[in-house]
Structure 1
């Protein structure tokens, strides 16, 4: 939460988070049209995030044809994105528009916990993407043994480990306060009334960014690169330029649908990197320059990262024909028709 407005205006025009106090933070001041536009943008982001991911969850739970290990992983990823829309975005929207914290010290501590809950969801999402990458690697690079090695039970176990590791890391930092070590003087010097600030020292910023984004994303990019190199080799072997088909060579066979799924999920990874990488990069640079990064820039990068949670359902709808059919059934209320759960979602 940033409570200092750097816009050059007269002191008489300043609005304070805590009126009558010289130690108060200065409230952000936007025109009516700007505030209205921000409200619309934030509400739109929340609605798309919540409704889109809810539809993904309902689709996978309801339609039996979607009950497979890959979609179990996608369902859990959609749950993490849904929680971002329900819990993280609303509070962040209010503080972004006003630049003040109006809810007291007790709720500030809870809000700080939500910051780490946000970190928890980010790490969980990263682990989910790693699990999905491993699943696609096995499906394409080892197709003969995929159904035996990657079952729904195995997928659920992978998810449990992902959520557990994310919780241990994020809430371990919260309760140990290791991220605040060495920042006591800085926090005391820049804290004002009406602020709810969360700081992390350079060591934890670098460590967290490496663990949360840089190393995992490098690993996943390498996995998908290997997948597409192998898929291209399969295509070359059977003399097709644009389609994945049967290959009876040493790799067994690769289904066209598996290749499409890998491409779609690699797009999910690419969008995740595009949305989150700038924020993590700035989070490393910020403590090195005395936490002087522009408040506006931080807010823009934070919401760019949040928009990632709204993007995934759109990607599924555009690139997954089966999900597109599910979304149509839900929107047209055909999901309430008898035996809708067993309907054929295959697209000829």
Structure 2
């Protein structure tokens, strides 16, 4: 178990670190969409670097060695980063919506200041929610015997009551997921219309539209993997208080790790669907990024 989880952590940390370095270093990648992807990679990197190692020890040893205060800090960051990821995906969906459905308005709508405001919301709202709910212990109001469980348990127990379990599922997962599904449904409907008229477009517009569609498809896959990985965990948080907290600890732990693996999958998806990421990774591993002029390299040229 240690070997398997350590492997997932290694891929999560270094895969997302490669994405962060690629977008930060290469000037050609400095676009509004990529800045959102960069911030999402930071989220996945932090999950792999600061959250997953402690969760690995707890899962394998079946014990929490780091005290209840750090348990709350750990769970707060865990919850914050999970919700932050889905907020980023929502922002990316909005970005792709304007790029494909309203291409003439895209450059005026999705500017760098707009991206900065979106990123501020993506980080601040989940952070305020997660730390506020966990450290106020509002999540435990009305749970019989919770204080005794905390005093006697050695496994970092955090259980959401009916109110906050429902709030977390609705506001942190279901609502943004529904918005994303609606947006991507609209994007692919418009894409089909574009496909009929694409032969009449000039070659440069045709190529750009093909790139936008491919980017939307790739990010749609990223969104689908996120929903697949995290839905069982969020749904269990919703149901557990209504089932008198009867979910086995082992099952809940397994579902949490299934959610973590989403952060492991993202750089693998980028590597499979984005040739520019594979080229950037090759240059990083060869150490070429230490050249002062290499940041102007054309990553999109087909070779």
Shared fold by TM > 0.5? yes
CA contact (8 A) 1:235 1:245 kept: no
CA contact (8 A) 1:321 1:347 kept: no
Structure number with higher relative contact order (C-alpha < 8 Å, ≥ 6 residues apart): 2
Cα distance 1:238–1:101, how it changes in 2: closer, same or farther (>3 A)? closer
SS at match of 2:152: coil
User: Please, which of 51, 71, 80 is the counterpart of residue 88 of structure 1?
Assistant: 51
Aligned residue number for residue 137 of structure 2: 177
SS at match of 1:262: helix
Aligned residue number for residue 295 of structure 2: 341
Aligned residue number for residue 151 of structure 1: 111
CA contact (8 A) 2:8 2:261 kept: yes
SS at match of 2:104: helix
Relative to the length of structure 2, the TM-score reads: 0.93
Deviation at 1:147, TM superposition (A): 1.1
Aligned residue number for residue 164 of structure 1: 124
CA contact (8 A) 2:36 2:92 kept: yes
Q: Which stretches of structure 1, 4 residues or longer, exceed 6 Å deviation after superposition?
A: none
Cα distance 1:193–1:331, how it changes in 2: closer, same or farther (>3 A)? same
Deviation at 1:306, TM superposition (A): 0.3
Deviation at 1:83, TM superposition (A): 0.6
Aligned residue number for residue 51 of structure 1: 14
CA contact (8 A) 1:140 1:254 kept: no
C-alpha separation in 2, matches of 1:63 and 1:346:
11
Aligned residue number for residue 110 of structure 1: 70
CA deviations on 1:134-174 (whole Å, 9 max, x unpaired) are 00000001101211221222212210121111112111212
Aligned pairs for 1:295-334 within 5 A: 295-334=249-288
Deviation at 1:245, TM superposition (A): 8.0
Query: Please, which runs of 5 or more residues in structure 1 have no aligned partner?
Result: 1-37, 248-252
Does the alignment pair 1:276 with 2:230? yes
Greater helix proportion: 2
Aligned residue number for residue 212 of structure 2: 258
Q: Which has the larger radius of gyration?
A: 1
CA contact (8 A) 2:72 2:135 kept: no
C-alpha separation in 2, matches of 1:219 and 1:189:
38
User: Please, which of 171, 175, 200 is the counterpart of residue 215 of structure 1?
Assistant: 175
C-alpha separation in 1, matches of 2:120 and 2:279:
29
Cα distance 1:70–1:190, how it changes in 2: closer, same or farther (>3 A)? closer
Does the alignment pair 1:199 with 2:159? yes
Relative to the length of structure 1, the TM-score reads: 0.82
